[in-house]
């Protein structure tokens, strides 16, 4: 049997202060991903979300007006 040396815990809510302390004490061996962090990752990687509104910014093409 192999033992794990790293881990990721994901929750849609939040972690208790003692869970955060434990993960902090173990350094980078345990990563905690709470609800807000999970939502940011989902948006960044386009998982389970869609574009609701897009903003287009236009800039004048000065070369168009050159003789």
Measured in whole angstroms, the distance separating CA 27 from the mean position of its chain's CA atoms is 20
User: Is 0.75 topped by the overall pTM?
Assistant: no
| Angstrom distances, CA of residue 60 to CA of 19, 26, 28, 30, 64 | 53, 54, 48, 50, 9
> Domain range for residue 16?
7-65
Higher pLDDT, 1 or 57: 57
Within a domain: 27: yes
Within a domain: 26: yes
Segment 7-22, tens digit of pLDDT? 999 999 999 999 999 9
Within a domain: 25: yes
Within a domain: 2: no
**Domain count for the chain:** 1
Segment 45-55, tens digit of pLDDT? 999 999 999 99
Within a domain: 1: no
């Amino acid at each position: 049997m192999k033992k794990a040396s790293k881990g990721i815990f994901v929750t849609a809510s939040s972690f208790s202060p003692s869970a955060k302390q434990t993960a902090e004490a173990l350094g980078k061996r345990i990563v905690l991903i709470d609800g807000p962090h999970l939502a940011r990752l989902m948006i960044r990687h386009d998982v389970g979300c869609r574009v609701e509104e897009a903003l287009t910014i236009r800039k004048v093409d000065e070369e168009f007006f050159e003789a």
